[in-house]
Structure formats: structure tokens, C-alpha cells
Amino acid sequence: MHTKTDNPRHPLVVLARTAIENYIKSGDLVPASAELVKEMQEKSGVERAGVFVSLKKHGQLRGCIGTFAPVMENVASEIIRNAVAAATGDPRFSPVREEELEELTCSVDVLSAPQKINDVSELDHKKYGVIVAKDYRKGLLLPDIEGVNSVEEQLRIAKMKANIYNDEPVEIYRFEVRRFY
């Protein structure tokens, strides 16, 4: 289920921001304590999940990194890892500098497990994110992205991200997100 929250201090977002600020200022990763792991599990509703962290500066994308399936032992660790990567490792952008921190907004997307689909009629670019796969190449696009106005455009961009030609047949998976601001 794709939901937007109105609470700007949602604990998942607070964790992402804390991880980014701590790493940029000190070079240290925030530890995922047992209490934090339990709180993030309660707030996200899952023990493990793929997570994307997106950063914007003045409304423009400044970094976005995530995992479509969990690679860490819990959601808290997944958020910390992907938040730091979004701020420092997105190859489309230079690393975030300390003086930019106050200008950044952050969102956290917690992904459902991907479901393989048989027909594009099962997609909705506002409701579902997509994963396209051809051999070893995979591309992902989150749902409800500003400027993406159709399923066809969503698939085209996901294929482009995976270096898959638009006319190549692909396996398509959909997923839902819970988005927190």
C-alpha cells in the first residue's frame, strides 16, 4: 500500500537523517541497537524489507539509493546503510557536504516483496513500483514519481536504468511501498 504520512518527524525518517548527519559530520555509522531495531520493526511493520532513501534539495533529487530486497539483518540497518549511500554514494551526484544538510529533505520507502506479473495491465504507475529483468540486468523505478505519467514511461525508464533496449522482452515485477516523510 502506497501511503504518504504528514508527520515530518516519522521515526524512519529521523533515523535516516540521523544516519546521514552523523556520517557526514564524523564519518561514523549510527549503530542499530536492539531498541532501535525493535522500534523500526514496529514503525515499519516488518522485520526485514527492501528500503529506498531519497534526498531532495529545494525539491530536486539530490540522492536516492535502495535495495529491492533486504540485504541487511533488519529494517533499521537497511535504513542506515541506504541513507548513507544516498548521501555519499549515488553516482549521479557528488557526496552531500555538511553545509547542505539543513537544505535536504528525506523520504524513506519500505518495499513490499516483488510480485511477478504477466501483463502490463496489472500495473499502475501511481500505485506500484516496477522491476524489469533481462538475464543479469535489472532496473527498478519507484511508484508515484514526479514527471512519470504512465506505465509505459515507468517501464521505459526502468529498462533504461538496466541498459535494456526498450523493445527487448523482459520479466516484470511490481511492488508497493509505504512512503514516509
Strand order in the sheet with 115-117: 115-117, 171-175, 129-134, 137-141
Please tell me the predicted confidence (pLDDT) of residue 43.
86
Tens of pLDDT, residues 66-96: 999 999 999 999 999 999 999 999 999 999 9
- Least Cα distance to 93 among 129, 56, 141, 67 occurs for 56
Indicate if the pLDDT at residue 5 is higher than 90. no
What digits encode the pLDDT tens for the residues 99-144? 999 999 999 999 999 999 999 999 999 999 999 999 999 999 999 9
Q: What is the pLDDT of residue 8?
A: 53
Full DSSP string of 47-81: SS--EEEEEEETTEEEEEEE-SS--SSSHHHHHHH
pLDDT of 1 above 50: no
Q: Which domains does the chain have, with CATH numbers?
A: 11-111 (3.30.700.20), 115-175 (3.30.1490.150)
Q: What are the tens digits of pLDDT across the range 24-82?
A: 999 999 999 888 888 888 988 899 999 999 999 999 999 999 999 999 999 999 999 99
Cell of 112: 513490499
Q: What is the mean pLDDT of residues 150-169?
A: 97
* Residue 6 pLDDT exceeds 50: no
Residue 115's beta-bridge partner residues? 174
Please give the Cα distance from 51 to 43 (Å, whole number): 13
Q: DSSP H helical segments within the chain, as ranges?
A: 11-26, 34-44, 75-88, 151-161
Looking up cell 544516498 gives: 86
Can you say how many angstroms the Cα of residue 85 is from the centroid of all Cα atoms in its chain? 11
Residue 151 has pLDDT above 90, yes or no: yes
DSSP annotation of 114: P
For residue 3, pLDDT over 90 is answered with: no
Strand partners, 108: 53, 180
